[in-house]
Amino acid sequence: MSAPANCNRLGLSKNDYAGKPSTLCKGCGHDSITVAIQQAYYDLGIPPHEITKFSGIGCSSKTPTYFVERGHGFNSVHGRMPSVATGASLANGNLHIIGISGDGDTASIGMGQFCHVVRRNVDMVYVIENNGTYGLTKGQFSATADFGSKGKKGWSNPYPTIDCCALAIELGATFVARSFSGDRKQVIALLKAAQAHKGIAVLDIISPCVTFNNHEGSTKSYTFVKEHDVPLHELGFVPSFEEIQVEMKEGELKDIELHDGSHLTLKKLATDYDPSNAIGALSVIHEAKEKQQIVTGLLYFNKDQKDHNSVLNMTSRALNTLTEVELDPGPEVLKKINSSLK
Amino acid sequence: MENKINNCSIRVATVNGTGSQSSNSLLFKSLFRMGVGVCAKNMFPSNIQGLPTWFQIRVSQKGFQNLREHDDIAVLMNAETAHADIKTMRPGTTIFYNSSIVTFTPDEIKEGMHMYALPVEELSKQITDTKLRTLLKNLFYVGALSHLYGIEIDVMKSVIQDTFKTKQSAIDANLAALQIGIDYAKENFKKTDDFGFKRSNTNDGKIMMEGNAACGLGAVYGGCTVVAWYPITPSSSLAESAEAYLKKYRIDKDGKTNYAVVQAEDELASIGMVIGAGWAGARSMTSTSGPGISLMQEFLGLAYYTEVPAVIFNVQRTGPSTGLPTRTQQSDVQQCAIASHGDTKHIMLFPAGPKECFEISAEAFNIAERMQTPVFVMTDLDLGMNTWVDDDLVYKKPQFDRGKVLTAADLDKIQGQFGRYLDSDGDGITYRTLPATNHVKGAYFTRGSGHDEYARYTESPEAYTRNMDRLLKKWHTAKQYIPKPIQYGASSAKVGVIAFGTSHSAITEALERLNDKNIKYLRLLSYPLHDEVEKFIQSCDKVYVVEQNRDAQMKSLIEVDLPGYQSKLRSIRYYGGFPLSSDLVERELKKQMEK
């Protein structure tokens, strides 16, 4: 029996993936990402109650209230979302975890936790809604603002930028992508692939701040990003439950099979790009920066690394379901321990 | 005359990192196995090798677990401290010293001192393995003491065998070194003091255990499944013990673990993981010390306000700042009572020995899940890192209290919306659901910002106030679930002592020596304070609150929570960093009572 019209494979409507109305500024890049997230989960037919949302503090961190209200959400403290998400994934490895962070939340106060959640390869989607500015506190530079980029007050950023994608690759991330909130098709394809990936998937999405960082001289304005966005490939996503049917000339298309059996297809654009080469990825990122280009697409992918719970050799049963029966070592063990302490 | 059999204090001064720890532990364990009432405390520096360290063994008929302020026998093996050490000794003290490197001038030797010169370096030439020499020569004083005071050689052999198990060469090397000390004492020492050890039965039904190990084991028996921690003295061995027990007793048949232990990047990440896991329904814990608690403040406020269970072990050390990292104190009481910015009130538990560490640690997880809030298990360096003699651990068949958690079936029965912060039972504790609960009403949004009964964002003063008042009510409700204080002594007494944690042994012994003064004693096992505390104070004319910090932190909490009794409350404090001695308690009580 096929699903009714306007429903996904679970028979759920888009409304089942909806959240509260956004309270962000009109035209905020984050809102388009929110829409993309809902679309991606809907298309994939992920049960909404299994989607578990985490965030820190900041404009981006408010967004988990705006999508999938039927999933639990946790708006934690500034820069510390990664540890909270890590803990939850230990308690229940079957959750579909998405963490939403911003450039302030990740690249400044949360830099330490970002590095370590990447290093541990926690099974989650980690979205950085990157606008290069502190919106909620009215327009200070963040650590991802480009050197020389102009702030709202006309001042130039005196510090070099931190590139979260390059950093993530360096730290051993297993899925690293960059996108632009204005390119919804690409964002959705990457979100779906990230969801299918077992391990951490870092998505750095340039998401212009219409109120504090959309002026001339800013390298994170809509106009600037549109003009300087260089997609590495055209992305297509084929979920595990659909048959892959693509006809393409030899060498034109790369097919990446993800952990859950779905596929991400990479159609060649100007140059051939190999996302399995970490060093190559770093070169491309750095060369693009010199040319003031923003390369978008799947920058790096590595399927071979174990995710955190597997590294810890954990049972596949959720720890939160275990009871006295499984967890009590019993009286005989205690007796033995007592006698070993004499 | 005082009976000197099974009644003395020994101080061993050595250099840190030279292997003296295993010699001292051999002394201590052998006395324990002879059934002699024994207590041991290690005074060590924040150092791996080279700085002075002292090990004190107190032997008493009743096995009191606190030290006297004086020593009867001193073993001075460290040339750097020997002259200062002997200066602190009373006339008549028995002194063993390393005569190869230490010479005392006649005026350093006080009247009646019994001097035993042990030429350690010369004797050590008998040990052919030069690598092991530095370690093994520490056994000479053990051999000499055992010969003079009657520690049974068979008992010592059994300890050495149990320590090295199947490593026969190590067993032989240790026994040979021990024998060098025994032989030297036999030939050269004539016993001139009256001290001695005799087999007894003081330790029937008792074990030797560090508080940290007992807490770790308690966590395992309490059903803990997630441990996230960051190394810090004196708590590291708590998490490490927990992990060792988990590795042993919590592996599924297929070889997979039914737990997770993560050494986090810092204390902030540790508590973050604990909160994430607790929120998602796993029993989770971290262990740390004062500096770690300082770093966790923001997260602790989040857990309090969003109502997430978490168990935090605070093995207190001497603060503020880095303080004295290897010394003990009870100086985080106030910090933990109200950890975080804003109005917060937390639950604290105070075990006094390994047995209670085991029981209270297990129970802490029930309390945390029942109350949906952080619970602090407050121990200290003295309890955590010293080996205590305490009663056998007692098995209690666990019945985990998972608290108010709604399943999908429960949600079916709910009319209208599910209110995460709705006080439907009137006890301040609300119902929660876990992530992935398969029900349309199942999800809610957790936020550290203002929220109403339905977990919706709000800045309404009324909703905020209602929530804060309910949290206060919940904190009072906790008294039904946390262990009650224990009262000792005649209830008719008009003078009282209140104390908690590691002060217990010192107080018990001091009150025994002051039994003509008719003093009763209330030992706190938890905070918030039960009604029994108020009743106790009401029944007394004067109450001395004994604690190991400068600022009378517990007394201040009592004054704030139980207003109106300030004029009755007195304070006895010790905060030098060493374990509390019964001598100090006795002296201070006498002094203050005479006023």
pLDDT in tens, B380-393: 999 999 999 999 99
Angle at B45 between CA B41 and CA B47, to 5 degrees: 135
Tell me if chain A has a CB within 8 Å of the CB of B33: yes
Alpha-carbon distances of B452 from B5, B437, B446, B456, B473, rounded to whole Å: 68, 21, 11, 5, 16
Q: With bands split at pLDDT 50, 70 and 90, how would you rate the model's confidence at B422?
A: very high
Q: Considering only the beta carbons, identify the residue of B217, B228, B436 that sits closest to A50.
A: B436
pTM of the predicted model as reported, rounded to 2 decimal places:
0.97
pLDDT tens digits along B278-331: 999 999 999 999 999 999 999 999 999 999 999 999 999 999 999 999 999 999
Chain position carrying tokens 């790096």: A300
For the CA atoms of chain A, what is the radius of gyration? 21
Reference B547, options B567, B518, B527, B530; nearest CA is B527
ipTM value: 0.97
Alpha-carbon distances of A44 from A1, A258, B113, B408, B534, rounded to whole Å: 18, 14, 85, 24, 61
What rounded mean pLDDT belongs to chain B?
Answer: 97
Average pLDDT over residues A81-101: 98
Which residues contact residue A167 at a Cβ distance below 8 angstroms, ignoring those fewer than 6 apart?
A114, A115
Average pLDDT over residues B135-147: 97
- Taking the C-alpha atoms of residue A102 and residue A111, their distance in angstroms, rounded to an integer, is 11
Q: Considering only the beta carbons, identify the residue of A50, A73, A83 that sits closest to B269.
A: A83
Task: Return the pLDDT at A298.
Answer: 98
Instruction: Reply yes or no on whether the pLDDT at B162 is more than 80.
Output: yes
Rounded percentage of chain B residues whose pLDDT exceeds 70: 100
State which H helix or E strand residue B303 sits in.
Answer: helix B290-306
Average pLDDT over residues A273-289: 96
Rounded percentage of chain A residues whose pLDDT exceeds 90: 93
Which residues in chain A have their CB less than 8 angstroms from residue B269's CB?
80, 82-83, 86, 112-113, 116
- Taking the C-alpha atoms of residue B420 and residue B424, their distance in angstroms, rounded to an integer, is 10
The DSSP 8-state label assigned to residue B255 in this structure reads: S
Interface of B with A in 534-593 (CB under 8 A): none
Instruction: Reply yes or no on whether the pLDDT at A81 is more than 90.
Output: yes
The DSSP 8-state label assigned to residue B44 in this structure reads: -
Closest chain A C-alpha to B202 CA, distance in angstroms: 13
- Taking the C-alpha atoms of residue B295 and residue B268, their distance in angstroms, rounded to an integer, is 6
Angle at A240 between CA A234 and CA A241, to 5 degrees: 120
Answer whether A92 sits within 8 Å of B262, measured CB to CB.
no
Q: Which two tokens stand for residue B104?
A: 């005392």
- Taking the C-alpha atoms of residue B202 and residue A71, their distance in angstroms, rounded to an integer, is 59
Task: Return the pLDDT at B50.
Answer: 86
Task: Return the pLDDT at B291.
Answer: 98
Chain position carrying tokens 């966005």: A229
Instruction: Reply yes or no on whether the pLDDT at A1 is more than 60.
Output: no
Which residues contact residue B470 at a Cβ distance below 8 angstroms, ignoring those fewer than 6 apart?
B421, B423, B428, B430
The DSSP 8-state label assigned to residue A218 in this structure reads: -
Q: With bands split at pLDDT 50, 70 and 90, how would you rate the model's confidence at B196?
A: very high
CB pairs below 8 Å between A and B: how many?
Answer: 221
Tell me if chain A has a CB within 8 Å of the CB of B440: yes
- Among A15, A53, A83, the strongest candidate for a mutation testing the B interface, having the largest count of B CBs within 10 A, is A83
Interface of B with A in 396-415 (CB under 8 A): 397-400
Task: Return the pLDDT at A247.
Answer: 67
In three-state secondary structure terms, B443 is: coil
Across the strands, what pairs with A97? A52
Q: With bands split at pLDDT 50, 70 and 90, how would you rate the model's confidence at A219?
A: very high
SS3 annotation, B311-377: EEEEEEEECCCCCEEEEECCCCHHHHHCCCCCCCCCEEECCCCHHHHHHHHHHHHHHHHHHCCEEEE
pLDDT tens digits along B22-53: 999 999 999 999 999 999 999 988 888 889 99
- Taking the C-alpha atoms of residue A62 and residue A81, their distance in angstroms, rounded to an integer, is 12
Which residues in chain A have their CB less than 8 angstroms from residue B279's CB?
74, 84, 87-88, 91
Interface of B with A in 212-231 (CB under 8 A): 217, 220-221, 223, 225-226, 228
DSSP string, B384-415: HHSEEEEEPP----------SB--HHHHHT--
Q: Alpha helix locations (H) across chain A?
A: 29-44, 59-62, 81-91, 103-107, 111-120, 164-170, 184-196, 222-228, 278-290, 308-311, 324-327, 331-340
Alpha-carbon distances of B491 from B23, B332, B495, B518, B592, rounded to whole Å: 45, 31, 10, 10, 21
B138 and B173 Cβ atoms separated by less than 8 Å = no
Rounded percentage of chain A residues whose pLDDT exceeds 70: 98
- Taking the C-alpha atoms of residue A274 and residue A299, their distance in angstroms, rounded to an integer, is 8
Which residues in chain A have their CB less than 8 angstroms from residue B436's CB?
49-50, 52, 72, 92, 94-95
| Omega cis (within 30) before B354 | no
The torsion angles phi and psi of B95, rounded to 5 degrees, stand at -120, 120
pLDDT tens digits along B204-255: 999 999 999 999 999 999 999 999 999 999 999 999 999 999 999 999 999 9
Rounded percentage of chain B residues whose pLDDT exceeds 90: 96
- Taking the C-alpha atoms of residue B456 and residue B446, their distance in angstroms, rounded to an integer, is 9
B40 and B505 Cβ atoms separated by less than 8 Å = no
Interface of B with A in 272-311 (CB under 8 A): 272-282, 284, 298-299, 302, 306
Task: Return the pLDDT at B47.
Answer: 87
CB-based burial of residue A216 (10 Å sphere; 0-12 exposed, 13-18 middle, 19+ buried)?
A: exposed
Reference A319, options B257, B262, B442, B406; nearest CA is B257
- The count of other CB atoms within 10 Å of the CB of residue B310 is 31
Tell me the pairing of strands A294-301 and A175-180.
Answer: antiparallel
Which residues contact residue B371 at a Cβ distance below 8 angstroms, ignoring those fewer than 6 apart?
B309, B347, B403, B429, B474, B477, B478, B481
- Taking the C-alpha atoms of residue B314 and residue B537, their distance in angstroms, rounded to an integer, is 28
Closest chain A C-alpha to B382 CA, distance in angstroms: 18
Task: Return the pLDDT at B17.
Answer: 86
Tell me the pairing of strands B310-318 and B324-328.
Answer: antiparallel
Which residues in chain A have their CB less than 8 angstroms from residue B398's CB?
324, 327-328
Reference B120, options B144, B146, B99, B95; nearest CA is B99
Tell me if chain A has a CB within 8 Å of the CB of B447: yes
CB-based burial of residue B337 (10 Å sphere; 0-12 exposed, 13-18 middle, 19+ buried)?
A: buried
Task: Return the pLDDT at A2.
Answer: 59
